[in-house]
């Protein structure tokens, strides 16, 4: 699997190189892009015996979780229905952007599983998480193994541009997952538009994703500020099962029906060279993506007759 994945990366990089339309770029940019493209050839080669990627992603751990817990949640608990997954690119990099919810958010795992299950050419998805998790014992050990990557711009760029991978970002960040039940499906601020700049730099499309169901799967009623300070976590929520059932209650998801809608990819090479320097444009595009997701969320919600049955 890892081998196949790496091989895909190399193929994709090669194709991208061949297809690169260098002529239309001005001289300075052309030289720069050639220089960077040279470096893509020098990515580390394949080591078939390895079970872990350079990002710390472990095939063994991922598979074990995928076959048990994730499979169960996807098929039987959340009964995920998916539309538009074919829009996710087959081989080159793409930045998936989604709304974020649920105290211990199940949305990322379900999106990754949806691509694994429904996409004609299943690909691994890299999920960006806050740096906080790299510094917290337990999370630091587990999260990289199942495909989480700290949300550093350089990490996102390497994955998207150099390795031609799929990356999922939640521009709302923790503001999305910590919001209370009463604010459900109302998108928070979309960061500072960093995700748009990242996609522009890497010359990959943005794929907006809407997830319905995660808000009801683990609604948050309040936050325990004191416990948050004591544990050093980013937040300690009150959910239907937590802290009632102890720490394991964090995994207590209600069986809400999930619906995931992948929207059409938005190309980021339509604005001429170096569009990321134009912060006005970056903000505008970020706002447009946010509106698009919000509109589609409301559309999906208006068609949903039951939280549990869809």
Partner 1 sequence: MDTRRILITGLSTFWGGRLARALEEDDAIETIIGVDVDDPTVELDRTEYVRVSNQHTLIRRIVAAAEIDTVIDTRLAVDSTVAPPRLAHENNVIGTMNILAACSGPESPVRKIVMKSSAHYYGCERDDPAFFTEEMERPHPPKTPIERDIVEAESAVRDFADKHPAVTVCVLRFANTLGPGLRTSHTRLFALPAVPCILGFDPRYQFIHEDDIVGCLEHAARHDLAGVFNAAADGVLALSEVADLLGKPLAPVLPPWGTGLVAKPLRRAGMRFPSELLNQLRYGRGLDNRKLKATGYEYRYTTREAVQQLAKQLRLAPILRDAREPYRYEQEVEEFLRYSPSVRRGER
State the residues that interact with partner 1 by CB under 8 A.
38-39, 42-45, 47, 49-52, 54-56, 58, 131-132, 134-141, 144-145, 149-150, 152, 154-155, 158
**What is d(CA 152, CA 54) in angstroms, rounded to the nearest whole number?**
16
Instruction: Give least dist CB 134 to partner 1, A.
Output: 5
Instruction: Give least dist CB 129 to partner 1, A.
Output: 12
Instruction: Give least dist CB 164 to partner 1, A.
Output: 15
Which three-class secondary structure state does DSSP give residue 246? coil
**What is d(CA 17, CA 7) in angstroms, rounded to the nearest whole number?**
15
Cβ proximity to partner 1: between 43 and 281 the closer is 43
Instruction: Give least dist CB 39 to partner 1, A.
Output: 5
Bridge-based pairing of strands 206-212 and 166-169 is: unpaired
Cβ proximity to partner 1: between 181 and 235 the closer is 235
Q: Which helix (H) or strand (E) holds 116?
A: helix 107-118
Task: Kindly tell me the burial class for residue 67, based on how many C-beta atoms sit within 10 Å of its own C-beta (0-12, 13-18, 19 or more).
Answer: exposed
Cβ proximity to partner 1: between 154 and 248 the closer is 154
Task: Kindly tell me the burial class for residue 74, based on how many C-beta atoms sit within 10 Å of its own C-beta (0-12, 13-18, 19 or more).
Answer: buried
Cβ proximity to partner 1: between 105 and 150 the closer is 150
- For residue 238, the cross-strand partners are 222
Cβ proximity to partner 1: between 137 and 272 the closer is 137
**What is d(CA 2, CA 54) in angstroms, rounded to the nearest whole number?**
11
Record the tokens describing residue 298, joined without a space.
Answer: 């409301």
Cβ proximity to partner 1: between 50 and 67 the closer is 50
Cβ proximity to partner 1: between 233 and 281 the closer is 233
DSSP of 16-67: HHHH---TTS-HHHHHHHHHHHHHHTTS----TT-SB-TT--BHHHHHHHII
Instruction: Give least dist CB 34 to partner 1, A.
Output: 12
Instruction: Give least dist CB 118 to partner 1, A.
Output: 29
Place of tokens 């990754």: 112
Instruction: Give least dist CB 140 to partner 1, A.
Output: 5
């Amino acid at each position: 699997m890892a081998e196949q994945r790496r091989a895909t990366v190399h193929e994709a990089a090669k194709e991208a190189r061949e297809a690169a339309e260098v002529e239309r770029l001005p001289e300075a940019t052309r030289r720069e892009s050639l220089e960077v493209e040279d470096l893509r050839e020098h990515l580390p080669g394949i080591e078939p015996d390895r079970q872990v990627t350079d990002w710390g992603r472990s095939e063994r751990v991922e598979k074990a979780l995928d076959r048990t817990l994730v499979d169960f949640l996807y098929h039987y608990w959340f009964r995920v229905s998916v539309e538009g997954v074919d829009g996710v690119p087959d081989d080159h990099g793409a930045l998936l952007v989604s709304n974020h919810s649920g105290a211990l958010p199940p949305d990322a795992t379900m999106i990754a599983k949806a691509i694994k299950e429904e996409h004609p050419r299943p690909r691994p998805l890299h999920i960006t998480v806050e740096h906080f998790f790299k510094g917290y014992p337990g999370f630091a050990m587990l999260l990289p193994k199942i495909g989480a990557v700290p949300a550093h711009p350089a990490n996102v760029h390497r994955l998207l541009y150099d390795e031609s991978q799929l990356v999922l970002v939640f521009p709302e960040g923790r503001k999305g997952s910590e919001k209370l039940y009463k604010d459900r499906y109302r998108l928070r601020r979309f960061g500072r538009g960093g995700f748009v700049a990242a996609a522009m730099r890497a010359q990959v499309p943005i794929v907006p994703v809407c997830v319905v169901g995660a808000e009801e799967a683990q609604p948050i009623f309040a936050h325990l500020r004191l416990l948050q300070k004591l544990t050093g976590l980013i937040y300690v929520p009150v959910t239907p099962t937590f802290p009632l059932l102890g720490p394991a209650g964090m995994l207590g998801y209600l069986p809400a029906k999930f619906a995931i809608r992948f929207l059409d990819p938005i190309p980021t090479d339509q604005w001429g060279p170096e569009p990321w320097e134009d912060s006005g444009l970056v903000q505008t595009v970020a706002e447009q993506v946010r509106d698009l997701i919000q509109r589609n969320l409301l559309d999906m919600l208006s068609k949903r007759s039951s939280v549990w049955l869809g």
